[in-house]
Chain A
Amino acid sequence: MTHDLVILGAGPAGASAAITAAELGLRAVVLDEQQNAGGQVWRAPSGVETPGDDGARLRDRLRVSGVTRAFGRRVWLAERGFTVSALGPDGAEDYRAPALIVAAGAHERHVPVPGWTLPGMIGLAAATILLKSQHILPGRRVVVAGVGPLLLLVAAEILRGGGEVAAVIDANRRRDWFATPLALLSRPDLAGRGAGWVTRLLRAGVPILSRHALRRIEGTDGVTRVFAGPIDADGTQIAGPERAFDCDALCMGYGLQSSTEVTRLLGARHAYQARGWAPVTTAEQLTSVRGLYACGDGAGVQGVAAAPLRGQIAAIAAARDMGRLSASEAENRLVVLQARLGRAARFGEAMARLATPPPNLVPSIPAETIVCRCERLSRADLDAAITQGAVTVNDLKSATRCGMGPCGGRMCEYAAAGLIGARTGRTPEQIGQSTARPPLRPVALQALAGSFDYDSLPMIEPAPL
């Protein structure tokens, strides 16, 4: 299937890029793993849509835009040129286009804690999906832990849904929330909502432990109790009473990081920018690879207000760069969008800054704690390899299999890199990212073989004896 433009991801950035591409007359296709547009943040509800809701509006606009929507697609390979290979309901498919916009979104950053593999321990982002899209509580009595604005959102939603919040455990101080005046002034509506969440929690008598982190999680077949202790501003554990909370669920997360596997696989240049790795782009979302654009949280976390603007900018730049839009017309549109993006991005980046784990949390992980969940590797296992000379995440992967399990390192790479840094003093740039390899996500070989033909195999003449 050949198009003018392939867009990966139908979240706020990708779907907006698709709508703009269609307006500009491009034949575009947008692929997403989910059954509908909206990404994680504006995920379609399992029941009835709320009309006028941001996600519902986006889905409506995309539906009437004329863009080909390919949902339920698992992208496992992307090659320059560009060819995107996906597995869909009808089997293996290849999508080809001279331009590719990657709007891959973000996934959660985790700081391993003893016991964090127990069922009942879910990510904060997972909790928002359960609460907002499925209208299901993570548990009856829930502890919410980590850092950032999602803590309060999740805790407040659990209360609203009729659940009990045993405690909120926050690596920040509460007043850090109000220490970003410029950003809050740019979105007073959202700042007000944050204050509302705090009020609701305090009124319900929920203990909010500031400058605390989880020490360990207990349970046999699932979480039954967690222990929290005080930390300093850097995340170092300090003396003080440990507090225990009985619970049947724990939601924990330490902010979002860009999902960069597609742009890495395509060989785009990446840089460690403030809080994580992201593809390097121009102001018009163009990566270092000609024809490859990256937008939304997958191109550096700037949040949901910035994402649609970044998507529109990418689509306009792509249309111009392939000669389908005049430079002057593109410029007129880009100027307006860039002005709006500035404000949205400042707010989003301030929120992302609040959702950054303090630097010493990872170095404080106890030795026996599982870091790589898939391969069951503990900190001690990784430290042993680091001591023997593993100084990059790729070294650590070769030495221990850390990050080589089904999740592809997405759950552990942040912590693994932090452990290398703690022991060697190397910078994130020196430690690097792992090399992206296909398949980008686990796929059944049987399903891929559907597009495979023995006759197309180049057969080499047997060597003469």
Chain B
Amino acid sequence: MATTSTDLRMAHASRGRAMQFRFDDGVVTAYEGETVAAALLAGGVRRLGANPEDGSPRGLFCAMGVCQECIVLVDGVLVEACRTIVREGLVVRSAA
């Protein structure tokens, strides 16, 4: 899992409290108020799942809850990673 050295967060921006959540087998650092999708991308995770038709890799696309490509499992429920705000200890799994 990526560390802060490869982080895509802009240096000058103010951030909330740091926290950690799980994505599949890794631990991801995030900051209060970030979406799961943004925190994963910032940590270098581009692939969030796969298309159910053919298994092709998919990731964040519209970032506004429309395209449904960033669907992940949180507590066993399918949610859009781009609309889910991170919480300490959240357990996120890729849907496919």
Q: Which residues of A contact B (CB under 8 A)?
A: 33-35, 40, 45-48, 107-108, 117-123, 125-127, 129-131, 134-140, 161-163, 220-223, 248, 373-376, 405-407, 410-411, 441-442, 444
Task: Give residues of chain B (40-89) contacting chain A, Cβ–Cβ below 8 Å.
Answer: 41-42, 46-48, 51, 53-54, 56-69, 71, 77-78, 83, 85
Residues of chain A within 8 A of B66, CB atoms compared: 107, 407, 410-411
Chain B residue with the shortest CB-CB distance to A46: B33
Chain B interface, >50% SS class: loop
Please judge, given known A-B contacts A123-B61, A126-B63, A222-B46, whether A407 and B31 are in contact too, CB under 8 Å. no
> Which residues of the other chain, B, contact A107 by a CB distance below 8 angstroms?
62, 64, 66
- Residue among B15, B47, B62, B83 with most chain A CB within 10 A: B62
In the assembled complex, how far is the CB of residue A196 from the closest CB belonging to chain B, in whole angstroms? 18
The smallest C-beta distance from A230 to any residue of chain B, in angstroms, reads 27
A-chain residues with CB within 8 Å of residue B78 when the two chains form the complex:
442, 444
Are A123 and B62 in contact (CB-based, < 8 A)?
yes
Given A136-B9, A376-B51, verify A47-B68 contact (CB < 8 Å): no
The chain A residue with its CB closest to the CB of B38 is A134
Task: Please tell me if B35 contacts chain A, counting CB pairs below 8 Å.
Answer: yes
Total CB contacts across the A-B interface at under 8 A:
132
A134 CA / B31 CA spacing, docked (Å) = 10
Contact with A along B7-41 (1 / 0, CB 8 A): 01111111110000000000000011111001001
Is B65's CB under 8 angstroms from A130's CB? no
Tell me whether A48 and B14 are in contact (CB under 8 A). Answer: yes
Alpha-carbon distance A134/B39, docked complex (angstroms): 9
Contact A221 B57 (CB under 8 A): yes
Kindly identify which residue among A125, A134, A222, A444 contacts B47, using a CB–CB cutoff of 8 Å: A222
Smallest CB separation, A248 vs chain B (Å): 8
A220 and B56 CA atoms in complex are apart in Å by 9
| C-alpha gap A135/B71 in the complex (Å) | 22
Q: A33-B83, A126-B62 are in contact. List 17 more A-B contacts (CB 8 A).
A: A45-B33, A46-B33, A47-B31, A119-B58, A123-B63, A125-B63, A127-B63, A131-B10, A134-B42, A138-B41, A161-B12, A248-B46, A374-B53, A406-B67, A407-B67, A410-B66, A411-B62
CB distance A136 to B42 under 8 Å? Answer: yes
Sample 16 A-B pairs with CB under 8 A, ordered by A number.
A45-B33, A46-B15, A47-B15, A119-B60, A122-B62, A123-B62, A130-B63, A135-B15, A136-B10, A136-B38, A136-B42, A137-B10, A161-B10, A162-B11, A373-B69, A407-B69
Are B38's CB and A130's CB within 8 A? Answer: yes
A40: chain B residues at CB < 8 Å are 64
